[in-house]
Amino acid sequence: MAELIAARGQMTIGELIEHFGVSGPTARRDLEVLSRAGLATRTHGGVMAPGQNGLAEPLFMEKLRVHQALKTRIGAAAALGVEDGQRLLLDSGTTTLALAQAIAGRDVSIVAMDLKVAEAAASGRTQVSVLGGEVRNGFYSIVGSSAREQLKALSFDIFFMAADAVDPDGISNSTPEEAEVKRSGVAGAKRTVLLADHSKLDRRAPTPVCGLDRIDLLVTDRKAASRLDPYRPRLRAVEFH
């Protein structure tokens, strides 16, 4: 299946079912395996090969090497907006990892949607919990129905969200699995703060997460300032660092 998707670039679920003679649930389970392995990117009703539209999701260690200084600044700035005693939900991603490093040791309660983020935050007086669910190999994010169900029963002062892509229509993600968990996070938080450097702007990934109207604050870097005019009517607040 991975070879066929790579050869054609993009396929629908129906095409895969017909080609391999399998049921819909079987095809979807196989696609989840390929998605977690980084061999395919799920889209609405189908799948695309890594590298299509320039938005294939890089592995965690690849993301970690990109814009490190900017992510550190954004994470440190976001930490300044956190008050002791607050209950926080931290998304998966290397920018939220920078936030976790900046906030580690403080008197806050954190639920992490990512194993690396949880590890970075677990220090001193910081109480850290991890969502139960499936771990995406090579990405360390936690996804699946169990994670979503847990989030329905929880509430947070702030959800710090990361994004694969942001355009004037909203936030989008490389995989449906992560997008679904993010949407549950938005629903359970009093405020949602998006952490995204300028490289995430003017891009669109396969799976929509939410509109910009669901974001209470965007924390980004100064290079984003010249590109935000189309976004401002939909954004409530922006901080540049």
Domains of the chain listed by start with CATH number: 2-54 (1.10.10.10), 62-240 (3.40.50.1360)
Across 134-160, average pLDDT:
93
- Amino acid letter for position 18: E
Q: Give mean pLDDT, residues 207-227.
A: 95
Mean pLDDT of 208-231: 95
CA 17 to chain centre: 29
pTM score of the predicted model = 0.76
Q: How confident is the model at residue 41 (pLDDT cuts 50, 70, 90)?
A: confident
Residues 26-58, buried b or exposed e (16+ Cβ, 10 A)?
ebeebbbebbbebbbbbbeebbbbbebeebbbb
Highest mean pLDDT among 17-21, 29-33, 114-118: 114-118
Average pLDDT score over residue span 61-76: 78
Q: What mean pLDDT is predicted for residues 29-41?
A: 82
The pLDDT value given to residue 54 = 45
Is the pLDDT score of 59 beyond 70? Answer: no
- Please report, rounded to a whole number, the percentage of residues in the chain having pLDDT higher than 70: 93
